[in-house]
Structure 1
Amino acid sequence: MNEENKAENYHSSFISLLEKKYGGFTPDKNSFEATSNSKIARDLCYSDSQFSRLINNTASEGEFIRALRNVNRLLNEARLEENQTNPPIETKSNKLILISIVILFMLALGFLGFYLGKSNFKEVENKENSNSRYEMLQWSFENKYIKPYVKLKELPADCNYPCYKYQGKWVLKSEYKIPFFRERNGFHYVAKDAVMYVRCIDERDNSGTLFEGYEYQKHEIWYDKREMPIDSFLTGGQKTKVREDYNSLNLENDPNFIKLAYVHTFFKNEFNLDSTLIYRSGKVIGRDIEFLSDEILQEKIDSSKLIAELQNEVNSIAKNRLEDFSKPVACEPTTVPKLDFHLIDEGDELNFGCQFTTGRFLVDYNKVFVLEDQYINNYCR
């Protein structure tokens, strides 16, 4: 066999094996129907450039031999994920088990937050760079053995299942701020980061119009040394709307503001697709407050008495005002990113106008999710 034929055989075998896991291969686009090339490269522990050489048949013989061995290993691991004698039942069971694990973990976080509240939210972290709390959630949706998403092969024959294109990882587009309304002025809530994993709720809905999002939020509580009243940050004509210059203010660069604590939250969203509108509901499942250390605060506040007062205020906010965030969210529906749901792609947005109740005071805020890592890139056919 000449070298050209040998290389072609390696390439054909490589593509054939990948099709068993990732669906049909389109030679014109050098892509698979169910998964992006970047995702497959990560599964095989390759860089995008290495995988590109393999998929374009420009790799060496040694690279192909190693790649075939890696794909066979991946397929063997996949057999652990599904029972080949009855895959649909096993897949559904695996999804339910994994979702149960996520929910139990979130409930555990809720108990942790409650315990910390009873303990006056003692300091957890001595460094200003707070640790994340979402590794368990990330593992639940990004591990390679069980995927809780609805797969392309599970969609109905007519492909009329809109939620399949919404599945994947969404992130918060930009931060938003909310001033607290309470007895003492000067406290502010900054929604800094959020990561949400969205999946179709196929176990209780066959229409493809229901999907849920498990969301980790990392937010902050700040103190304004001027203790300006809440009206100072609201527009004159609309008393529930914050001023744009306040929302765009970088508190890190403003000497009047001091960061006091991080707020870690797990939130369960549910979305209902109704024609051209998407309705969002949901509530907090777990929360943890993490103070900055006294050493860090003393660098910005020269009064130990004031530091103790501020920490007591944050405790009070955590026990009372943040309960408002635990209530079901009140948001207006948003329009769908695209009328043809098959065209929804990474970079598309869900833009929700919501209201937060702080005390008896309503404050409007805008929360925008951006689709960062879509689970099914290709169209259902």
Structure 2
Amino acid sequence: MNKIHAEFISKLEHHYGRYNAENNSFESTSNSKIARDLFYSDSQFSRLINNTASEGELTRALRNVQRLLDVHELRRKVSKQASGTGNSIFDKRVFMWISGVLLVSLAITLYLFTKQTDEVETDDDLSEQTRYEMLRWGFENNYIKPYVKLKELPEDCYYPCYKYQGKWILKDEYKIPFFRERNGFHYVAKEVVMYARCMDERDDRGESFEGYEYQKHEIWYDKREVPIDSFLTKGAEPKLSASYMESNFEDDPNFVKIAYVHTFFKTEFNIEDGLIYRSGKAIGRDIEFVSREILEKQSISSDFLNELKSETNTIAKNLLEDFSKPITCNPTETPNLDFNQIKEGDVLSFDCQFKTGRFLVDYNKSYIFTDQYISTYCR
């Protein structure tokens, strides 16, 4: 048993009881339950417990277990103090303290994510689930839920952001052609998962909320290297043509998927006079190239493939930095003027601009509400 695996087992024993090395199980809890607590699949946890996972996987799992233990300890201390005190001043202090703990926990989540995404080339052990699990752990586990709760709302119930809290996903994909020295590269926004929470640390009566997004997008290469002008409408203010936006690269043999772009994005939303304003920027990003074996089947030589990878790295380091700058989006109307009526299925649709070279490209980014934290309404 190596040192990291031994420490991993030792920390699990603190919470789940003695470990039986003969059958790789703990005395008080099933392995499936532990896997769910740590947001792993049964097969992933099996690799960890059997010491067949990579060192990187074990190290990240060790962090997950430590966070779990820290949260349990904080809850124990709060419960112990609260049981001996009942005055309202203490209750308020406890509430403020717990809120701070939740924000710190979320900050740790962000830190761990950005530490994993500061390299352009991805680590083979860094699976999509590993990238996403940090964000999901911060919002979907049973111990930390950084949302404002119904009982914490003011007496007059005016706190518009509370109904926006929960999980949102990208409604429709969008694509953008890159303007650079070499034609043929395109960016396809494919998947977004965003968790929204009220910014209760602000004294603005609940008129702002923030979203933490995990994005998995794609970079494609057009073998014909068609110039960007071909995808734009004519006129003083060119826009992406409808035919381009409706095209499907998957069905076009001229297009080859080169890489996946994994991004962590922080967005702020402000509610004002029936409108929602959006601002934000990328915090971390990395590139995961499609396997060489798959790309070589697309009649791309090994030397040319190296060129494409070099170009893609340049795009990630330079052009995609425009996505890291504060975004430019028009405000959108609230799904319902009565914020108490916001519900799952509602859409936030923003018309935005992306600068690629000398061109300002319009695109639409829409979120659809899929999992609302507070489905009832304040009364």
**Helix, strand or coil: the match of 1:227?**
coil
Paired with 2:77 and 2:341, the residues of 1 have a C-alpha distance of 30
Paired with 2:317 and 2:205, the residues of 1 have a C-alpha distance of 40
Paired with 2:75 and 2:125, the residues of 1 have a C-alpha distance of 45
| Among 98, 105, 108, the residue aligned to 1:94 | 98
Aligned to 1:200: 198
Shift of 1:239: 4.5
**Helix, strand or coil: the match of 2:323?**
helix
Paired with 2:155 and 2:104, the residues of 1 have a C-alpha distance of 29
Aligned to 2:292: 294
- Residue correspondence of structure 1 range 300-311 to structure 2 within 5 A: 300-311=298-309
Aligned to 2:27: none
Shift of 1:90: 3.2
**Aligned residue type for 1:173:** K
Per the alignment, do residues 81 and 187 of structure 1 end up closer, same or farther by CA in structure 2, a change over 3 Å counting? farther
Aligned to 1:232: 230
**Helix, strand or coil: the match of 2:131?**
coil
Deviates more, 1:188-197 or 1:97-106: 97-106
Aligned to 1:148: 146
**Aligned residue type for 1:89:** R
Shift of 1:145: 1.4
Per the alignment, do residues 302 and 206 of structure 1 end up closer, same or farther by CA in structure 2, a change over 3 Å counting? closer
| Among 159, 162, 166, the residue aligned to 1:161 | 159
**Aligned residue type for 2:316:** A
Aligned to 1:49: none
Aligned to 2:243: 245
**Helix, strand or coil: the match of 1:212?**
strand
Deviates more, 1:104-113 or 1:190-199: 104-113
Aligned to 1:187: 185
Paired with 1:313 and 1:94, the residues of 2 have a C-alpha distance of 47
Shift of 1:240: 4.0
Shift of 1:125: 4.4
**Aligned residue type for 1:373:** D
Aligned to 1:106: 110
Deviates more, 1:193-202 or 1:82-91: 82-91
Higher relative contact order (CA 8 A, sep 6+): 1
Higher Cα radius of gyration = 1
Per the alignment, do residues 296 and 88 of structure 1 end up closer, same or farther by CA in structure 2, a change over 3 Å counting? farther
Cα deviation, 1:234-267, whole Å, max 9, x if unaligned, reads: 1224654212222222211211111111111111
**Aligned residue type for 1:248:** E
Aligned to 1:215: 213
Paired with 1:172 and 1:267, the residues of 2 have a C-alpha distance of 13
**Aligned residue type for 1:133:** R
**Helix, strand or coil: the match of 1:242?**
coil
**Aligned residue type for 2:231:** F
Shift of 1:77: 11
**Helix, strand or coil: the match of 1:311?**
helix
TM norm structure 2: 0.74
Paired positions, count: 302
Structure 1 contact 107–285 (Cα < 8 Å) conserved: no
Paired with 1:361 and 1:274, the residues of 2 have a C-alpha distance of 31
Structure 1 contact 334–351 (Cα < 8 Å) conserved: yes
Structure 2 contact 113–134 (Cα < 8 Å) conserved: no
Per the alignment, do residues 368 and 337 of structure 1 end up closer, same or farther by CA in structure 2, a change over 3 Å counting? same
Aligned to 2:325: 327
Shift of 1:302: 3.4
Per the alignment, do residues 94 and 297 of structure 1 end up closer, same or farther by CA in structure 2, a change over 3 Å counting? farther
Deviates more, 1:101-110 or 1:199-208: 101-110
Aligned to 1:19: none
Per the alignment, do residues 238 and 257 of structure 1 end up closer, same or farther by CA in structure 2, a change over 3 Å counting? farther
Shift of 1:374: 0.6
Paired with 2:225 and 2:130, the residues of 1 have a C-alpha distance of 30
Paired with 1:103 and 1:377, the residues of 2 have a C-alpha distance of 27
Paired with 2:283 and 2:100, the residues of 1 have a C-alpha distance of 18
- Provide structure 1 residue ranges, at least 5 long, that are not aligned to the other structure: 1-41, 44-75
Per the alignment, do residues 136 and 113 of structure 1 end up closer, same or farther by CA in structure 2, a change over 3 Å counting? closer
**Aligned residue type for 1:93:** W
Deviates more, 1:216-225 or 1:80-89: 80-89
Paired with 2:125 and 2:234, the residues of 1 have a C-alpha distance of 40
**Aligned residue type for 2:374:** I
Paired with 1:220 and 1:192, the residues of 2 have a C-alpha distance of 7
Per the alignment, do residues 146 and 229 of structure 1 end up closer, same or farther by CA in structure 2, a change over 3 Å counting? same
Per the alignment, do residues 314 and 145 of structure 1 end up closer, same or farther by CA in structure 2, a change over 3 Å counting? same
**Aligned residue type for 1:279:** Y
Aligned to 1:367: 365
Structure 1 contact 78–145 (Cα < 8 Å) conserved: no
**Aligned residue type for 1:304:** S
Per the alignment, do residues 111 and 143 of structure 1 end up closer, same or farther by CA in structure 2, a change over 3 Å counting? closer
Paired with 2:285 and 2:321, the residues of 1 have a C-alpha distance of 10
Structure 2 contact 220–257 (Cα < 8 Å) conserved: yes
**Helix, strand or coil: the match of 2:229?**
helix
